[in-house]
Structure 1
Amino acid sequence: MMRAVTYTQAGDPSVLELVERPNPEPGEGEVRLRVVVSGVNPTDWKSRSGAFGGTTTQATVPNHDGSGVVDKLGADVTGFSVGDRVWVTLAGDGRPGSGTAQEYTVVPAERVFPLPAAADFELGASIGIPAATAHRALTVAEDGPARLHPNALDRRIVLVAGGAGAVGNAAIQLARWAGARVIATVSGDTKGKLAVAAGAHHVVNYRDTDAAAQISRLAPDGVDLIVEVAAGANADLDQTVLRPRGTISIYANDGGASFNLDVRRNMGLNARYQFVLLYTVGWDRIAAAAADINQAIEEGGFRVGDEAGLPLHRFSLDQTAAAHAAVESGAVGKVLITV
């Protein structure tokens, strides 16, 4: 038997319960992991609350991201050995019992990636959804690279909206590692310091009335790529600072579910909009992102913690409800559960 956190109905964090369940057995093409650290993302509490995916009646283990050790291999699994240190993402997608808020989980082998020797388990549990989302957002420009590596974004200017968030932090780090000049927008000095720690060359407070003018002075010819967390609220700013044939990658719309586009203005820019959601992006792209992110880790280009602008908030497995509440209330940094 093992300990696991589950919920059987949608609701606030109080629906999460710590229970005992049988250890799962891996089937063909599956890997069983001993989970060391589970990462909590906004998508996890939104699924639990019923905001995403509707209601549920079957026991669901939350949290898609995590890190741990390969414990057992199913038939026909190659590329891994028992004892390998790994990280996992989208563990519970379509598999309600496979979330990482439990001592052992079974997932398809394609969702598991080697954890570089330079990374600890806390970093491993922080990669997943935020870093893969950032990678996708940085590789969708029509005339940009499909993969990231040193110099891949050389001579490009990247604007990261919400540079103190988990995806924003990952986008800053990966863009900087890939050679871009990075501008980040934040809501105040405290978050600005986090964006600088992540590697942003310039920081602008988006609440300033002249925020767009500040960015335009930094990028007179316009920014090449915008990683956008609040498409509606930032629509005017984005269209003001984007260069002709530039790209806006939208992975969230904080503050609203829809936004309006000025058609004539966007046509004049030949603007390219790309929406980003990992659930449907395809495992080939996630695998490519994982390989590039692992390379960045090995080269010191992707980190977590205060020194990397992503403070860590640690909880134990029996504090999973509190961990979810922290993410839901907008905790700045990364919320982790030590399993």
Structure 2
Amino acid sequence: MYAISIREPGEPDVLEWTERPEPQPGPGEVAIDVAAAGINRADLAQRKGAYPPPQGASEILGLECSGTIAALGDGVTGWQPGDRVCALLAGGGYAERVVVPAAQILPVPGGMDLVEAAGLPEVGCTVWSNVIMEAGLRSGQVLLVHGGSGGIGTCAIQIGKAMGARVAATAGSAESLQLCRDLGAELAISYRDQDFVEEVKQLGGADVILDNMGAEYLDRNASALAPDGHLAVIGMQGGRKAELDIGKMLVKRLRMSVLGLRGRPVDGPNGKGAIVSDAHSRLWPMVERGEVRPIVHDRMPMPDAAKAHALLESGGVHGKILLQVP
């Protein structure tokens, strides 16, 4: 098979479409002939050498894909070769074939084409596990989404709206802010020339904040939260280290979670299988009703992964870039 290889850590031009050994499914695993893979910012970090795959995971990039089941490993039930699926991966999606634990695959939602479905598993499971399963967002609460026009952000706005929450989102350009409004954000805040702390106070403060910035926004996020609020940190685009006023958190009874998805085990109450199962039972109906969908900025041939990475790094991408297998 062919897959994208990283010649050496570096800029996008280190990505090459090369021949690789074809993976075979082991017990409890499924082999998928890949139709498309979604690009995530974690892929950019791995390409630069800053985000190595978990032990035992494929070194090939790609944390989500869609395709058709090619083969089943021993002990797999409920699926058949030829089934149209999408999958949450620990790696391996930028390839013609990938192997994944059966607990991490999902049916392609009704009404969605096979390529489009590649943009759903990683963002959907990330948002669902942090905002719903961990932070417990409920109808009528206020959700603040940082980076509202990106892949994670566009998904989070839609899930918040579908859950009956009041959604605020930050973004940079006028076009990005309008996209946030179009997806259901009641309040779209420019992080370039507005103070999101003051703006979100118009809604009484945020009950849940989904944050991809990390250190840079830590103190202001605590200020923006309403009493009993929850800060869910999923990224470090604004740095790794910052001071936090514990007194502010105590007075407002705030909670903070810092949860990754890729390195979780497959099984167990906090495993990826449990997240995928909960997303299937509660998120997938929203998708099939058209309340949540991947926002696709572009579809590009997988051999052009270097161009796709450069496009994402250049800024201005709304939603997801999908890589299609030739």
Alpha-carbon RMSD: 2.4
Matched, 1:112 2:105: yes
For 1:176-187, what aligned pairs fall within 5 Å after superposition?
176-187=161-172
Secondary structure in 2 matching 1:203: strand
Matched, 1:20 2:13: no
What is the TM-score when the length of structure 1 is the normalising length? Answer: 0.86
Paired residue for 1:148?
none
Matched, 1:287 2:277: yes
Displacement of 1:31 after TM fit?
1.0
Residue-pair matches, total:
316
Paired residue for 2:267?
none
Paired residue for 1:225?
208
Secondary structure in 2 matching 1:10: coil
Paired residue for 1:175?
160
Matched, 1:268 2:258: no
* Distance change >3 Å, CA 91–CA 137, structure 1 → 2: closer
CA contact (8 A) 1:4 1:21 kept: yes
Q: Which amino acid aligns with 1:74?
A: G
1:221-265 deviations in whole A, cap 9, x for unaligned?
x22111112233323432333111111111113221112111211
- Distance (Å, rounded) in 2 between the aligned partners of 1:70 and 1:180: 36
Displacement of 1:165 after TM fit?
1.5
Paired residue for 2:321?
335
Displacement of 1:140 after TM fit?
5.0
Secondary structure in 1 matching 2:128: helix
Matched, 1:164 2:157: no
Q: Which amino acid aligns with 1:282?
A: G
Q: Which amino acid aligns with 2:155?
A: A
What is the TM-score when the length of structure 2 is the normalising length? Answer: 0.89
* Further displaced range: 262-271 or 11-20: 11-20
* Distance change >3 Å, CA 125–CA 75, structure 1 → 2: same
* Distance change >3 Å, CA 213–CA 59, structure 1 → 2: closer
CA contact (8 A) 1:141 1:247 kept: no
For 1:1-339, what aligned pairs fall within 5 Å after superposition?
2-7=1-6, 9-53=8-52, 60-92=59-91, 99-139=92-132, 144=136, 153-217=138-202, 219-220=203-204, 222-279=205-262, 280=264, 282-283=271-272, 284-304=274-294, 310-333=295-318, 334-339=320-325
Paired residue for 1:95?
none
* Distance change >3 Å, CA 171–CA 327, structure 1 → 2: same
Q: Identity over the aligned pairs, expressed in percent?
A: 32
* Further displaced range: 222-231 or 8-17: 8-17
CA contact (8 A) 1:224 1:242 kept: yes
Q: Which amino acid aligns with 2:65?
A: G
Displacement of 1:43 after TM fit?
0.8
1:106-139 deviations in whole A, cap 9, x for unaligned?
2221221111122212331111222211112212
- Distance (Å, rounded) in 1 between the aligned partners of 2:173 and 2:96: 39
5+ residue gaps, structure 2, are: 265-269
CA contact (8 A) 1:38 1:101 kept: yes
- Distance (Å, rounded) in 2 between the aligned partners of 1:261 and 1:290: 36
- Distance (Å, rounded) in 2 between the aligned partners of 1:24 and 1:233: 41
